[in-house]
Amino acid sequence: MLRRAFLVFLSLCGVLIANPAPAQSANGPGLAALPIVVPVKSCASLAALELSGATGAATTLAAREVVGQHPYCEVTGTIAPAIRFEVHLPLAGWTQRFLETGCGGLCGMLRVEAEKSEGCTPVTDGSITLASTDMGHQGMDPSWGVDAQKRVDFAHRGVHVTVLAAKALINAFYGQAPRYSYFSGCSDGGREALIEAQRYPKDFDGIAAGAPALNFTVQNSFHHGWLAKVNTGADGHAILAAIDMKPLHAAVLAACDGLDGLVDEQITDPRACRFDPVGLTCKGDYRPGECLTRTQIDAVRAIYDGARSPSGKRLEVGPLQPGSELEWVGVFVPRERTGRIGSESMALDTINHLLFSPDRTYSIASFPFIEETLASEEPARALYSADNPDLGGFAGHGGKLILWHGWSDPHISPLNTIDYYERVGRQMGAGTRDGFVRMFLMPGMGHCGGGDGPSEFPLLAGLMAWVESGSAPAEMLTHRKVPQPMGPPPRGPAGAAHDGPPPEVIAAMRAHDAEVAKLAPRSRPVYAYPQVARYKGSGPIDEAGSFSATTPAPVKGISDWVGARP
């Protein structure tokens, strides 16, 4: 009674920014029925908050109301020295939930966007607080890596202090803490997700880590460096170009598509595929789009083999998988042979700015693919990588973790995620792991989405239902997403447009999306690992109801490579 009278008083004084909401929210299937909470302060007043005590550093704030279908209070801020963040606080209907979203690549931009949110009512109806950060630097130029503090901010501090700032703002605006807190990210955002589970296990109740760049140092040196090296010819141009991918991909499908008992232009588990590209060797002159030269065959073999030392020792967790060939375009296979090889800049940006001291500069040709180089990356690995399998703190807090990865990912091999999942089981016991971790591997899906296979699924809805009702997701119902026109680039410093992907990469993405748009609609169940979807023997192959779960013969998931932990 006293609380209601107090809220009425605040409303009369013009402090409240929304009328009192219904007592209970329509939270959606599997979610807790949480009371809606209304603000107890005005949006504008948040700009005057003193958050340095919460974040542990000087913090400046700005606040404004954003109108639209789901109005919210947008708070932007900077945590010293230069961590920018943004928080969206619903002006009405807040259901006591908080979601922080991750940032991809080397970040440098603010991008508050909850992806894979279909069926997740708190996201789709605007009743959840959202936040994100640029991780302490602005723009795409990697020269910030010479600053030791910015390295730390990117590695782990930026995401964590944003959590602290967001929760302090929530407390001030609504007069209470969030009941449930979530994190979701893919690629480097997936690394950030695992960093949170490992370093700051009490920050979140539920975490979704997609295609995580958990082996950050190896991923951005040996992996991308190798892909650039083996696809660069003596003339400095690409050996393989986009035109070569269609015959290569077709040959892979011809060899391995039917291994799962169904010919459907996707491979359920590429680890079972044994493919030798020698059958594509040109008999006579090279015919683009029809066959490959011996030099191209060698390049394909090196790509499938992954980074190795001169003595043949594996220098990364695992290589890209058969079936991913169409996704190579725009990453390390350019549209034209004279085009830019994206993996080269991805590797050199990290190698020359984030891993070593500034006095060491490499080119792809001079970077040593040897065990000693891997050993020299250990200090950087300890800072950036999220490969610690001990998640005891997160599990003890009651946290739930969903790992997910596309089998056709051209940036990060899914073998990295499988290896981590298995090592968590070895560290903590498989039974303990399975009480709080689930992993989903999507056939035909590219990096964080796209690809030939279905790549859209209710990730956040499944995560929240697991946290709030204990209903662990046994499957994800996936479907193909019709590619949408590419929108404007995310915001860079001071709201300006950042430079974004180079034109040839954008062209490759658009061309690939156009090809995917020609594919038939398809829905498929993807079951929690190690189960896979098996065709029942009848019914349309593009409908999920025609499939059921089966458990295949076990496949060794822990990788043998030079940098493997004991």
What does the pLDDT read at residue 485? 52
Asked whether residue 538 is domain-assigned, the answer is yes
Mean pLDDT (whole number) for 131-155: 95
Give the pLDDT confidence of 91-119 residue by residue, as tens digits. 999 999 999 999 999 999 998 999 999 99
Same domain, 155 and 132: yes
- Token pair of 280 as six digits: 């594509």
Give the pLDDT confidence of 468-500 residue by residue, as tens digits. 999 999 999 999 876 555 455 444 444 333 445
Q: Of 326, 358, 382, which marks where a domain is finished?
A: 382
Same domain, 264 and 307: yes
Same domain, 160 and 191: no
Q: Of 178, 197, 228, which marks where a domain is finished?
A: 178
Name the β-bridge partners of 209: 185, 403
What's the domain range around 59? Answer: 1-178
In 3D space, the residue among 216, 505, 223 whose CA is nearest the CA of residue 364 turns out to be 223
Single-letter amino acid, residue 335: R
Same domain, 395 and 540: yes
- Token pair of 193 as six digits: 């997700």
Gap between the Cα atoms of 367 and 225, Å rounded: 8
Same domain, 288 and 157: no
Same domain, 256 and 202: no
Mean pLDDT (whole number) for 256-266: 95
Contacting residues for 309 by C-beta, under 8 A, at least 6 apart: 315, 369, 370, 371, 562
The total number of structural domains that make up the chain: 3
What does the pLDDT read at residue 516? 59
Asked whether residue 348 is domain-assigned, the answer is yes
Same domain, 110 and 29: yes
Mean pLDDT (whole number) for 156-175: 98
Name the β-bridge partners of 479: 456, 523
What does the pLDDT read at residue 481? 73
pTM of the model: 0.91
Asked whether residue 509 is domain-assigned, the answer is no
Mean pLDDT (whole number) for 405-431: 98
SS3 228: helix
Q: Of 314, 347, 382, which marks where a domain is finished?
A: 382
What does the pLDDT read at residue 11? 36
Mean pLDDT (whole number) for 252-278: 96
Same domain, 136 and 10: yes
Same domain, 293 and 245: yes
- Token pair of 364 as six digits: 């792809």
Same domain, 236 and 329: yes
Asked whether residue 499 is domain-assigned, the answer is no
Asked whether residue 358 is domain-assigned, the answer is yes
What does the pLDDT read at residue 496? 37
Cα end-to-end distance, the chain, whole Å: 60
- Token pair of 481 as six digits: 């997403």
Same domain, 83 and 199: no
Same domain, 265 and 289: yes
What does the pLDDT read at residue 3? 37
Mean pLDDT (whole number) for 299-316: 98
Give the sign of the dihedral formed by CA 320, CA 446, CA 485, CA 488.
Answer: negative
